[in-house]
Amino acid sequence: MVQNHMGPDQIPRPQRQDLASQLAAPDSFPGRISTIQIGEDLLATHPDGTLKNTSACLFLRQKGLIDHNFIVASRPNHAAGAIKMAFLMAYLHGEGMDIPQLGISKDKPPSEEQLGILQRIFMGEKINDVTRDTLEPVNTAANKYGELALKSYIPIVMRGFKDKKEICIRQDGETNIGQVEEAIRILSQDMGYPSSQIKVIASQPKISENLREYFEKKGELFRLYPPTGTKEAQTEFINHSAIKTTHGIKLYYAAGTGERLLTEESMRDIVDGYLTGSVDRQQLGRQLNDLLGKYGTRNRMGVSNLSLYMVDPSHFGIEDIREAHSTATEREGADYKHTDAKLKQVLSTMMQKYHDATAEGYHTDDVSDSEWRHKMYTRLMGLHEVQRPEEMKIGLSKEYVGEVRWLPGATVVPNPHFKGGWDLHYLPETGTHEKTIIQDFGDYCKRKGLKLEHINVGRVVESLSKREKQHPDELREVYVVEWKVQGDKSNRVDLLRRQKWDEQYYLLALEFDLGEKGIRLWGPHKQKVERDEGRLKYDDNGRPYLEREWGRLYARPLTRDEARNLTLEYQEFVLHRNKFEVALFPTHPEVQVTVPVKDRGPIVGDYETYFFIRSYVNGVAVDKIPETKLGNPEFTKKLVRLMGVEAAHNAIVGRINPLTGEHIYGDGDEIIQFNKPLTDDDSMPAGYIRPEETSVLGDVDSPMSRYTPGFARWITRLLQKAKAQGLSAKDLQEIAKEYSTAFHDEMVSVRKRVSEKPGIRNMFQYLSPTVGEERYQWPSCRYLVPKAIDRLMSTDINELTRNLQSHIQMPD
């Protein structure tokens, strides 16, 4: 049974009313706890796309204190929201006072605007001749509730720009996971914010780890914030961390800890603003006061509210800012005490001192500089060094770090009708693909009698393949599925790769008929045909064709039935090739396929596609191994031994792209496994796996000597790199010999295995000789496998090995 709770499109967002109306109508949302929002919509933006709010405080109702949940949007920080709430509680409990200058009566709660004014006066501003001193009675009441408010709020941080906006609930030492869950419920169900935009963030590494484990088990890894650390993810995270104070100072805000960072560039903007005349003296005083109000103070977690980023505190500090502020603001009567010239001199001196105190390389904000970007990203995450990214925690290798976007999915919940039974509870935002994939895994577990404990689905943001697409619309959608069943000691991780040649691919393709005489040619895609062959022409009846010297090639799109049949037959072709490799090479991974996944294309409309499933094996692509590792001769020998084995497999199955004639080897499909993390000095290659079926059985006719130049080119390049790392000529000779010996021995071993299991040759005799629609006839495994086996059995392995050795070029 699939369960769904009400989605945000079904929950009416609360209509914005004044505070008095909200307090007077607690039953505005029947069946739900009333939540009152103070301030603008949490995700409201300015015309330039920046967020109007950067933080908010969520106060859960407490018996005898407040009867509703309150969300108080606050700027510039959470303390401002807590102060507003303290004043509101004072008035709600009859401990307020009349303040005629502000239009505030003790008989009713202040409006949202009035709460903001009270907060600003409390922080030291003078408004309408009202100062903090004149508010003594209400200040006393506010102080009474202030400590409670500062300790009891759940901190919320708004992040993002324009359409990419998120609400982050921060768990710190004052909040627990139950409160975080209640905050999610209030924001999504009471307030109607999309659940996928609600994230959680931790203030400390230990809390972060607990959050990760909790939401992993719930199937909600997508809730974790911030993103991991690729260049693009770091850049986006840093840009989204930039905020402005009330008076326009740019700071970088660490959402996890509440720390604000002032860079030299921001300080220079303050000084240059006055020196160039774009900011007047009064505004300059307010900006410097913003800094003084935060510098040296700490939030409830003990973190500094303002830090001077990469500044040596022994050479610049609060006293320098205070001197500039007093020079800018001190008065003698109605006039400023210090002249404009004096102020400019003080500002210039302060700026030079700030510059000299700032570490080299940090004078400007430059996200394109890798050191600046990584250092700022680390600081904004509130860590001395970046924690292990989520991808590595579940067992994925470094190439996936930052490339997996975790998506809304499903939580495993008990089935009340069956003892020990379970169901899947989907979030409203769960996509069609993700829902089908999760359901497919769930059905698999039920068929096998397994109890699914949790499942998380993420999409690889960019293809990690280096291969050129066959046509512009080719889809390379890849999913990561992290799941666990009862009884397993560790989680399982699978990769799902979209079938490249699916129904949409064929529906976008064209068939060419020579003069309508039944001589048909295959054109994979209209755009590719026109790119390679020239634009299509049209006859008097509007039929597209290509003009050739032997006649007209008329084109027509395939029917939906033809496309569907070709899709399924190509899918079987992939699975059969995998089955052949599993039989031939015992360590080769098995591939499965999902149930049909519904999709929709802009041209073809509704159609079905499929995903190939394989277990993920942690390792490093052979082309990603650091060259410095090749300076260890033992490491390099073990590596080439594995690649020599793969070279033998490669030649046996003929990995030649039938469309391009390209020999595929050593380009990253081969995943090397290690006995220890690759970063360890004594890490050694321990195994390998090639999970791809790309171009397997692409050539079963050419002699195997066709492949040896490609193998030799790979080992020659590796020897050159190893020499550059300091290996001796003797070491290089031994490495080359290790490679060719492994190639020879594996060829012999596989041939022996085939001799002992002759059924491998004829394992696909039940198939027709060809697959695909008759007009396209590409050979099936019934034809290809015997050809590959016969070639192996008839090859002189010793001669083939000598041929390989003759092509290897030793470095000078």
Q: What is the pLDDT of residue 408?
A: 94
**Residue in the structure block whose two tokens are 């407490």:** 62
Q: What are 435-492's pLDDT values in tens digits?
A: 999 999 999 999 999 999 999 999 987 554 444 444 444 456 899 999 999 999 999 9
Q: From CA 9, how far away is CA 4, in angstroms rounded?
A: 13
Instruction: pLDDT band for 812, please (50, 70, 90 cuts).
Output: confident
pLDDT (tens digit per residue) in 636-652 = 999 999 999 999 999 99
In this predicted model, what pLDDT tens digit does every residue of 418-437 receive, in sequence order?
877 899 999 989 999 999 99
* Pairing of β 69-74 and β 35-38: parallel
Q: How confident is the model at residue 6 (pLDDT cuts 50, 70, 90)?
A: very low
Q: Tell me what the mean pLDDT of segment 280-301 comes to.
A: 86
Over the stretch 532-587, which tens digit does the pLDDT of each residue have?
Answer: 666 778 888 877 777 776 667 777 778 899 889 889 998 999 999 999 999 999 99
Residue 365 dihedral angles phi and psi, to the nearest 5°: -85, 110
pLDDT at 657: 83
The pair of three-digit structure tokens given for residue 657, joined into one six-digit string = 């792209």
**The residue count for the chain:** 812
pLDDT (0 to 100) of residue 303: 81
Structure tokens at 473: 């619309």
**Lowest-confidence region among 74-88, 236-250, 372-386, 579-593:** 372-386
pLDDT above 70: residue 229:
no
Per-residue pLDDT tens over the stretch 128-181: 888 888 888 888 888 889 888 888 899 998 887 777 788 999 888 778 899 999
> Can you point out the beta strands (E) in 368-509?
404-407, 410-414, 422-426, 452-460, 478-485, 492-498
Categorize the per-residue pLDDT at 384 as very low, low, confident or very high, splitting at 50, 70 and 90. Answer: very low
Checking if the pLDDT of 125 tops 80, the result is: yes
Higher confidence at residue 256 or residue 696?
696
Mean confidence (pLDDT) of the chain = 85
In sequence order, what are the residues at sequence separation of 6 or more whose Cβ sits closer than 8 angstroms to the Cβ of residue 636? 629, 630, 718, 722, 727, 731, 735
Q: Which residue has the tokens 């031939």?
A: 584
Average pLDDT over residues 779-790: 94
Q: How far apart are CA 457 and CA 691, in angstroms?
A: 20
Statement: residue 13 has pLDDT above 70: no
DSSP SS3 for 599: strand
Instruction: Give the pLDDT score at 466.
Output: 46
The 8-class DSSP code of residue 678 comes to T
Report pLDDT for 50.
79
Q: What is the pLDDT of residues 77-91, one digit of tens each?
A: 888 899 999 999 999
Tell me the whole-structure pTM to 2 decimals: 0.75
Q: In the structure encoding, which two tokens stand for residue 201, read together?
A: 């963030």
> Residue 787 contacts by C-beta under 8 Å, 6 or more apart in sequence?
700, 701
Residue 416 burial (CB < 10 Å; 0-12/13-18/19+)? exposed
Region 660-674 average pLDDT: 90
Q: Is the pLDDT assigned to residue 402 strictly greater than 60?
A: no
Q: What is the pLDDT of residues 209-224, one digit of tens each?
A: 888 899 999 999 999 8
Residue 7 pLDDT class (50, 70, 90 cuts): very low
Q: For residues 508 and 797, which has the higher predicted lDDT (pLDDT)?
A: 797
Q: Report the pLDDT value the prediction gives residue 471, as an integer from 0 to 100.
A: 43
